[in-house]
Structure 1
Amino acid sequence: MILWTTLIGGFFSSLVKWGSEVNMPPRMPGEISPPGANIDAWLGWLGFNQHSLDYVYQGNSVLGAVTLYHWLFSFVFAFVYVWGSVYWPKIRLWYGAFYGILITVVMHGLLIPMFGFRNPA
């Protein structure tokens, strides 16, 4: 049950995250993408970089590795929520939306600017 719930929750979470970037891009042109910088730093020695999985979809360039990175994060955070709900069943009562907003605020509002990945403009 934990595995299926994690997969379904992570899937929907990643779609919401990906869909929100279409109309609200997270970065200004020229800004460094935190997932891209991490991919380059962690996997660069293997010849893998943030553009290794790029592809073009309907005339738009899609960063495949960065998308995969975000999807994996969605599944990890979904697992944390589902696992926590096993021990604290009350969080299942509509707190998932609050959890998602909290993760977004912490990651994009606190950690990304704190590590210098956000353009002050």
Structure 2
Amino acid sequence: MTAQTQPTSETLLARILTSLDDDKAEDVVQIDLRGKTEIGDFMVVASGRSTRQVSAMAEKLTDRLKQEFGRTSKVEGKDAGDWVLIDTGDVIVHIFRPEVRDFYQLEKMWLPSGGTVTAN
């Protein structure tokens, strides 16, 4: 795929899930947001074992999306490594350290609204 070709949200989601799997992300959950909110089509929540792994996964993911799709993502929190937010436009990715993820329980916010949660 060339940098000029804009991927569908499903293509982007698949690449994000593959990238996280390649980098040994844990407890990866995808949430279908279509028709529920305007922030994006999908949300992905994943955990890394340490601040270093969380930051590295986020950096590799944003690099891969830029190289493969020419897509620059907005990133927050990469330097701290407790919780990194990656906004690709169509897919919002949250990568947490397990303790931080347990504290915020972000994916549970989307369950009552009827969002489909799929664990990978």
Into which bin does the TM-score normalised by the smaller protein fall? Answer: under 0.3
Q: Which has the higher helix share?
A: 1
Bigger Cα Rg: 1
Normalising by structure 2, we get a TM-score of: 0.25
TM-score normalised over the length of structure 1: 0.25
Give 1 or 2: higher strand fraction. Answer: 2
